[in-house]
Structure 1
Amino acid sequence: MRRSLLIAVPAVCLFGLLAFVIFAWRPSMAPVASPDVAIDASRVEKGRIVVALGDCAVCHTRPGGKDFAGGLPLKTPFGTIFTTNITPDRETGIGGWSLAAFRRAMREGVSRDGHLLYPAFPYIHYTQVTDADIEAAYAFLMTRTPVHERAPENELPLPLRFRPSLAFWNLLYLRSGARPPKDDSEVERGRYLVDSLGHCSSCHTPLGIIGGEKSGHYFGGGRIDGWDAPALTELGNASIPWTHDQIVAYLGNGVAIEHGAAGGPMRPVVENLGTVPPSDVRAIATYVMSLPQSKATERVTTATIDPARIRHGQAIFQASCETCHGASASMTTALHRPSLALSSAFHGDTPRNAIATVIEGLSWPEKPGVTTYMPPFGEVLTDKDMADVVDYVRSTTGRPAWADTPATVTSLRKELKP
């Protein structure tokens, strides 16, 4: 028996090591002198749309940096990952990548030189993109202006710097292969865009302890960069239910009159969607509306807010907010901006999105179509001012009071620091 164990244990270890090598090792792919796909105007234009639908510029452009040159810090629970340069620079970008290398990165999360990519790059969704769309995206990116800029080193603890360990994560979450629309229907086009290029569930599905999307919680809501991403399975049963036309308006120009304006991580998404064919925006809305709807969950509280805080919040609102958000303000009457009492941020289960909007504001639009703007008040209002004004606006919605607004203001100021 003992002798059998002495033989079996090394054999199991050897088998485990062999399996690990098989799953973790990927060969390097030879560089190419020039793009190995036909480059023509129609394919490049199609690629522009594919890249916009995939939000590639959002992650691969740092503030103040060149488009697609990378360097954006992505803060994760495990450390900071800096996005890579995807311009056609041969030394620091993807200029030497073949189409096959690009396709492998999209489908399997593997770089040209064979190292595994961190799943901050949503290859578990991009793997579903069709060959034609991958080829178009490759053609578009290879016609961008090369930028010689190397991404900073990732700031991760030592175990996570060992990239081969990502093979185990891939075994759990990666299901490689294209998943094109099953037919020509609008809902199938929307499903394809939402699940593949849009990678919407990356934000709108809760994540598990190792950063993978929780099974059985598809579109059940998540949290990204300090903001709450709402459950898409509850939009139709929200306190103010969403309609198809409202989702189209929100995605296409960043504002729905009955719900408010896009902010935080959703802001650049809608700016990109404003540059794609309206038919694609409608298809996305159609698919989202087709999702099985569950009853909106609400954290029931018995919180009571000191009336003195509400009065103070109202005074802050009158001094800082009423010029734009008052019932008779020109922005409300002439530009048809929604009342804050209708805003989804103030109807949420937590005050996070309302507070984050006050702290960060809504950035000046960078692309045509999006017309909303709000200056940040993070450096203007004290924690007490902010908590009181947010709770005052919440009190005008008819929803139950939030129990933890002051504490959330304090924690969010730290989370949202650059």
Structure 2
Amino acid sequence: MRIIRAFSFLLTLLLVAAVAFLFVAWRSEIPVDEQAASAAHPPELVAKGAQLAAVGNCIACHTVPGKPAFSGGLAVPTPFGTIHSTNITPDPETGIGHWSEAAFERAMREGVDRDGNHLYPAFPYDHFTWVTPEDNKALYAFLMTRQPVKAETPDNSLTFPLEFRPLLAGWKLLFFRKGQLQPDPGQSAEWNRGRYLSEGLGHCGACHTPRNSLGAEDVERHFAGGEAEGWQAYAIDENSKAPVPWDAESLAFYLRNGWHELHGVSRGPMAEVTGNLSLLPDSDIAAISIYVASLMGEPSPERLQKAEQLRAQFGGGRIIQASDSQTPPAPAASDHPGAAIYQAACATCHESGRQQPFGGLNFALSTAVHAPNPQNVVNVTLFGLPPADGKASAVMPGFAAMLTDRQIADLLAYMREQFSDEAAWQDLEAQVANTRSGKYHVAVRPSDGIERAPHNVGAKEE
């Protein structure tokens, strides 16, 4: 009898807990706004929204290459399955054409859509919650003046029971903190502006911060390095492995131009970021750079000394060589199995002395070669760097069709040994094989990204 009573008591507790959880998880639907898609918005507000959309890199996640801008459907691989981005054009049936400004604001601030469904944190509302109402209003105006596109979002494919969206309320209770980012009175206005852009719409930490087993950012290791679309997002704190330490000036140049002579060109998802940031004013680029540089800390004297040597050896003022003057340097004496491959496949460009962005970066300057994880250099070696469409850009051939997994592993092991003083990478051949096979879902981008988001991208036709 006691067992039955205990079981009944536990069952009652579970039912009460389940009802309480569903009560907490439930969110109401916001009524349809029939006039939302046709409402007029001041041009200056739309222009401001275009800049904000560029900061948020909205077009990158909400556009499938070759399809209309912001029409969604992009497959986003996660450790829990595949999530597809939504259509954020003002189409009333498949997009956000019936969303009021209040519905848009709730999605940004709370991660809940117009129908009351909790959104997966692949949409980084844990950062967007910090965006001001004024900036949300401008972003809403920009999106509502894009061309409506009828495009159904494919179904997600997630591990059971994650398709049950109310469970996301539990994730939010654990990891999501709603609120607006407050300025730090101890810092300059420029630093605070950079913090707002980087931590809010820019959501830099979504890629550059490692995540825990439940997919939340590890706040104790903010900017310590993460992963995005099969690429390593480098540490941009005091753990940065850049041979020449970044400072605000070099970061600003890189974010504005997509390359820096002592750091190389942006690639993978970062190419989309630097491509989109072209719309921002110099003051915002400078603010982001000042903020991020402040988190990197002061390099050690030893690191600064080595950096000065690298600057003297590879810095500006060198003659830009023509393509027909690029001759391989004398090979270094080595019996390493990757040495001959390097000499034949890499040295002609990467030791030519030709400046960035069109010459190959000397690997003594390469963060990829010094990084703890070789994934980025594996990606570039296999797939290369495609040319940008219709403009001069950095370009590199891929070697997937010419070199075996073993040969690429030997090549990269040689580069690690020759150009860095870091410990050897482990299991290189397996990592190359898994990357080649598609297991890691690597996204390959030209040096200026897939698409950029100037003011007129996706705009309604008049």
**TM norm. shorter chain > 0.5:** yes
**Matched position secondary structure for 1:270:** helix
Gaps of 5+ in 1: 297-305
Matched with 1:83 is: 85
TM alignment of 1:267-278, pairs within 5 A: 267-278=271-282
1:218 counterpart (222, 243, 247) = 222
AA aligned opposite 1:262: S
Number of the residue aligned with 1:106:
108
Q: Is 1:259 aligned to residue 287 of structure 2?
A: no
Match 2:381 to one of 349, 358, 371? 358
Moved segments of 4+, more than 6 Å: none
User: Following superposition of structure 1 onto structure 2, how do residues 134-213 of structure 1 map, counting pairs within 5 Å?
Assistant: 134-182=136-184, 185-213=189-217
**Identical-pair percentage:** 43
Relative contact order, higher structure (CA 8 A, sep 6+): 2
2:421 to 381, 399, 402: 399
C-alpha distance in 2, partners of 1:242/1:15? 54
Residue number in structure 1 paired with 2:394 = 372
| 8 A contact 2:192–2:291 mirrored in 1 | yes
* Aligned position for 1:62: 64
**Amino acid of the structure 1 residue aligned with 2:14:** C
* Per-residue deviation, 1:312: 3.0
Which deviates more, 165-174 or 392-401? 392-401
Residue matched to 2:96: 94
The more displaced of 153-162 and 90-99 is 153-162
C-alpha separation between the residues in 1 aligned to 2:79 and 2:431?
18
Residues 146 and 16 (structure 1), Cα distance of their counterparts in 2 relative to 1, 3 Å cut: same
- The CA distance in 1 between the partners of 2:357 and 2:34, in whole Å, is 56
Deviations 1:177-216 (A, max 9, x none): 2225456611000111111101111111111111011231
Give matches, 1:231-310, under 5 Å: 231-234=235-238, 238-291=242-295, 293=297, 307-310=335-338
TM-superposition CA deviations, 1:313-363 (whole Å, max 9, x none): 224xx2x334433325xx438956632331211121222111111223234
C-alpha distance 395-313 of structure 1, shift in aligned 2 (>3 A): farther
Offset, 1:292: 5.7
Q: Deviations over 1:243-277 (max 9, x none)?
A: 22111122111111111111112111111112211
> Are the equivalent residues in 2 in contact too, given 1:332–1:339 (CA < 8 A)?
no
Using structure 2 for the length normalisation, give the TM-score: 0.80
| Aligned-residue offset at 1:389 | 2.7
Q: What's the CA shift for 1:236?
A: 6.5
SS at match of 2:77: strand
Q: Distance in 2 between matches of 1:23 and 1:367?
A: 52
Amino acid at match of 1:134: N
Partner of 1:321: 346
Amino acid paired to 1:127? T
Mark the CA change 1:180 to 1:134 in structure 2 (over 3 Å): closer, same or farther. farther
Distance, in Å, in 2 between the alignment partners of 1:158 and 1:380 is 41
**TM-score, normalised with respect to structure 1:** 0.88
Deviation at 1:241, TM superposition (A): 1.4
Q: Residue 205 of structure 1 contacts residue 219 of structure 1 at CA under 8 Å; is this kept in 2?
A: yes
Distance 1:232 1:334 in 2: 22
In structure 2, distance between residues paired with 1:326 and 1:295: 27
SS of 2:158's equivalent?
A: coil
Superposed, 1:323-342 pairs within 5 Å as: 323-328=348-353, 331-332=354-355, 338-342=361-365
1:35: how far off?
A: 2.5
Give the Cα separation in 1 of the matches to 2:158 and 2:299. Answer: 39
Change (3 A) 1:367 1:59: farther
RMSD of Structure 2 on Structure 1 (CA): 2.7
Residues 416 and 269 (structure 1), Cα distance of their counterparts in 2 relative to 1, 3 Å cut: same
